[in-house]
Structure 1
Amino acid sequence: MQRQGRRADALRNSDRIVRAAIVVLRDSGPAASLDEIARRAGIGIATLYRRFGDRDGVIRAAFQTYFAEEIEPLALAARDAPDPGRRLVDALTATVDTLAAHHALLGAAQESGGFTVDIAERFMGPLAGVLAAAQRRGQVRADLLVRDLAAIVVMALATVHPGDPAHADPRRYLALLLDGLRPSAGTLPAPSDTRLRVDSPDPDLGEARSSS
């Protein structure tokens, strides 16, 4: 019983740290202080390091929680659309707009290696059915994968910068990339078999997120 209590406390601490990190990173981006994150979470800095290993671990956990709560629902909402091709484009556009609007958090995640195609693909999984429906209707290329959609998002967001508060650049390049979704007589080259996996050093993190 005592062990369960300690485990529950550890999970609560993980969640508090992640929530605090999201707020601080939104305000300060890559310059965010771990001391400030710990202070806002109401825990000691040693607890933060014990739960997440290092600075990158905190940032990756915060961004993945943000992605699960803010981006995955956009993919889920697209599943029941009557026009799958339109909803696919709308979901990708909303994803880019949402992440671009939080460029400080995005910048911190990019710097820490917390925003990769594999992470984006994981949370955009619900678009698989929408993509398949759009392919059956001939609205998009037959050889597209969900991983391609995740890569499009990552590439468009690589153009986000503080000097573009209206997000004109990511919207422009997203539009160019979306043109590549159209049906084509050609065939895309096969993707790499490599999967860049970035996992939290804390084995309890996934459980903490799911219980929040």
Structure 2
Amino acid sequence: MLEQQFIQEVLPDIERGLDDEDPRRGLSVVIEAALTSAADEHHVLTAARNAGIFTAETSARFFDALDPLVARGQRAGVIREDLVPDDLKRIMGMLVSVLWTMDPAGGGWRRYVTLVLDGLTPAAASPLPNPAPPLLRRQPS
């Protein structure tokens, strides 16, 4: 239910971001929409996270939608070439975790979205170490 609610709230912004002629701006729209939704539902998300409701499948649709946008931005030279799909998943995790360090309704998290987006531009790029391998999740016994 929470997954469906999140997808329904963010879907129009994902579609708008995917259709944006500027892929960097489109990525910004999508990230900000996701964090706005997360900030609005902060307490519900905290409870769901603590209860283990969210799984890799919960966010797969969101990230699957972002992959073509990032690839388009890389081809256009507005998103660094060495960004891999797992990077974006971890970056979103970092940005969502910022909500736990401040009043999410205050909008202070937008500062960190801007810092991250600036870091994704080729002009700000420094060579990156190899990406970490995907985390293997333990299967419940």
Please indicate the TM-score interval, normalised by the length of the shorter structure: 0.7 to 0.9
Gaps of 5+ in 2: none
* Residue 166 (structure 1) aligned with residue 82 (structure 2): no
Question: 1:128-182 CA deviation, whole Å, 9 max, x = no partner?
Answer: 11111110111011121233223222211112249613131x2222222222212
1:104–1:123 distance in 2 versus 1, CA, 3 Å: same
Per the TM alignment, residue 188 of structure 1 is displaced from its structure 2 partner at its CA by 4.0
Listed as ranges, the matches of 1:62-81 within 5 Å are 62-81=1-20
1:190 aligned residue (127, 131, 141): 131
1:154 aligned residue (72, 86, 93): 93
Q: Is contact 2:17–2:26 with CA below 8 Å preserved after alignment?
A: yes
> Which SS does the other structure have where 2:134 is aligned?
coil
1:195–1:122 distance in 2 versus 1, CA, 3 Å: farther
Aligned pair count reads 137
Listed as ranges, the matches of 1:1-212 within 5 Å are 62-115=1-54, 119-161=58-100, 164=103, 165-168=105-108, 170-183=109-122, 184-196=125-137
1:148–1:155 distance in 2 versus 1, CA, 3 Å: same
Q: Distance in 2 between matches of 1:126 and 1:195?
A: 22
Which letter maps to 2:51? S
Q: Distance in 1 between matches of 2:87 and 2:77?
A: 17
> Which SS does the other structure have where 2:64 is aligned?
coil
> Which SS does the other structure have where 1:160 is aligned?
helix
1:98–1:197 distance in 2 versus 1, CA, 3 Å: farther
Q: Distance in 1 between matches of 2:101 and 2:2?
A: 19
Q: Is contact 1:140–1:181 with CA below 8 Å preserved after alignment?
A: yes
Alignment TM-score, normalising by the size of structure 2? 0.78
Which letter maps to 2:52? G
Q: Distance in 1 between matches of 2:106 and 2:126?
A: 36
Q: Distance in 2 between matches of 1:72 and 1:107?
A: 21
Q: Distance in 2 between matches of 1:88 and 1:115?
A: 23
Q: Which moves more between the two structures, 154-163 or 115-124?
A: 115-124
Q: Distance in 2 between matches of 1:167 and 1:117?
A: 27
Q: Distance in 2 between matches of 1:102 and 1:160?
A: 11
Which letter maps to 1:192? P
Which letter maps to 1:154? G
Q: Distance in 2 between matches of 1:98 and 1:135?
A: 27
Q: Distance in 1 between matches of 2:88 and 2:56?
A: 9
Alignment TM-score, normalising by the size of structure 1? 0.55
